[in-house]
Amino acid sequence: MFISIRSAICHCLKNTSIRTSRGYCTSTTESPFKSIYNIFDKYKFKDQKLSNDDLWITPQPISLSTSNPINTNYQQLLMDRLKSFDAVSVGTQLVKSKSKRNSNLVEVHIDKVKMENKEYLDDFANHFSIYPHKYYKDSVIWSQQLLPNAKEIVLPRHSNKKLDEITFDYLFPILSFLSVYHQKKCDSGENELPFSFMIQSTVISDHKDEEILEKLSDQSRSLRSSIIQRIERTRKRLLKGMVDYDCDSSVLKDKSPYLVQLLLVNTHKVYVSVNRLTYSQEIGWGYPLPFLNGTIPMKRDQTHPSRAYKKLLEVFGILGYTPSGKSTCVDLGSAPGGWISLLLQINPDLRILSCDRSSLVNSLERNANVKHFIDDGSQWFPEEKVDWLFNDMAMPPPKSLETLEKWLKRSDVHHFVWAVKFVTSTDHQKIFDQIHGLMRKLKIEKYFIKHLLNQGNEIMIVGCK
């Protein structure tokens, strides 16, 4: 499904009234969008089509334990969830689905409907501010990253242009429009942030040849650099809104930039996606994630007693915050202490109540802020007030959810990070339905379910009350 720009935006910009900070006017010469129409015309953008296809990157997880091997086809799990969206595989790690999002630009031609121009401009801008979790629900569980409205750009044979030039011709009008659109909103006193964007470029290819993959990586980096250079030469002030993709997450939260993703699959094909980042103070980042390829950067840290700390690092990366102050945390299934070690590294003032049938490493057993109980974590409940609940126990999903329900019925638990571990072949959707049913029963709305890259045959439930 595609959106015709010629029949919508260009006609709209030329012929209908436009609201300015002083009201409405019918002359394009008085409109801040005149320059945008000229850009659409110059770069033949009005002859383009905006894609309604979404591109998914399926996980390539890292096994943490030989006792919990990874043998699950995550791409198939994702495609099963996307059946109603006509999903197709376009590579060993890529799935394309057709969006069913409603849009005036899809359903009608503007020259056939008498509506104020502002509404169509809003609709066009909103095409780059979708919220995928509202449409795809449990599908995002099995996704590493999502490229909403991914435009497939292919370098034609015998073309005089290069791939970076064709990509720029598509991308530059979009960024220019969004820049003017946001400026107009700000000038009108509307509750809108100044325009900002970030550009990420990466490679996902089915090539096995290391030399070819290295060349593609070089081309990917060159593609990003070339587009930035072209923006600087063409409309330098656009770069004032660019933020580095490796900047501190607090900057991204404040600016809410548009994420430009350039996904190179071979030397002559790239997928281009532009979508605004979304962040919730309670449950963190939505899709697309702000991290390159959806992978939260982390360094190997051998100071922790197990590699399980990486799962918790992923969770905190998505949440964008960690336990603060002198919060009391419960860690179930804690031995030998990977999560506890990370928590104290992040915040040494935390008070941690730990429970496992085994002991912690000596350094944590001796820590004054850690109180460890040798007990069955599914039956143990402390009397102390608890702020954060963490669980990494291995037990059947029904028993795991039964234990989670007991904890969440406590009034003191505010945040929870709960691992549910599957056994061999599992009806995953049945478990997800049970999780959603439990949250409805307890009237908890702020939560998400995610398969982490550092998890095996398991998922994580993360939320707050």
Report the CATH number that the domain containing residue 89 is assigned in CATH: 3.30.2130.30
User: Has residue 302 been placed in a domain?
Assistant: no
Same domain, 85 and 172: yes
Among the three residues 244, 266, 294, which one is the final residue of a domain in this structure?
A: 294
Among the three residues 240, 266, 294, which one is the final residue of a domain in this structure?
A: 294
Which band of pLDDT confidence, cut at 50, 70 and 90, is reported for residue 425? low
User: Has residue 76 been placed in a domain?
Assistant: yes
Same domain, 143 and 289: yes
User: Has residue 116 been placed in a domain?
Assistant: yes
Same domain, 362 and 441: yes
CATH number of the domain to which 433 belongs: 3.40.50.150
The model scores a pTM over 0.95 = no
User: Has residue 300 been placed in a domain?
Assistant: no
Mean pLDDT of 9-34: 45
Q: What is the mean pLDDT of the chain?
A: 86
pLDDT for res 62 = 57
Q: What is the residue range of 334's domain?
A: 309-464
User: Has residue 208 been placed in a domain?
Assistant: yes
Same domain, 257 and 326: no
Evaluate if residue 265 carries a pLDDT over 80: yes
Same domain, 278 and 338: no
Which band of pLDDT confidence, cut at 50, 70 and 90, is reported for residue 267? very high
User: Has residue 303 been placed in a domain?
Assistant: no
User: Has residue 95 been placed in a domain?
Assistant: yes
Same domain, 342 and 408: yes
Give how many domains the chain has, as a whole number: 2
Which band of pLDDT confidence, cut at 50, 70 and 90, is reported for residue 190? confident
Question: Which tens digits make up the pLDDT trace of 109-133?
Answer: 333 232 346 777 788 888 899 887 7
The CA-atom distances, in angstroms, between 374 and each of 224, 356, 380, 388 are: 54, 5, 10, 20
Largest Cα–Cα distance of the chain, in whole Å?
77
pLDDT for res 402 = 97
User: Has residue 419 been placed in a domain?
Assistant: yes
More confident residue, 103 or 72: 72
Same domain, 179 and 279: yes
Question: Which tens digits make up the pLDDT trace of 192-226?
Answer: 899 999 999 999 998 888 999 999 999 999 999 99
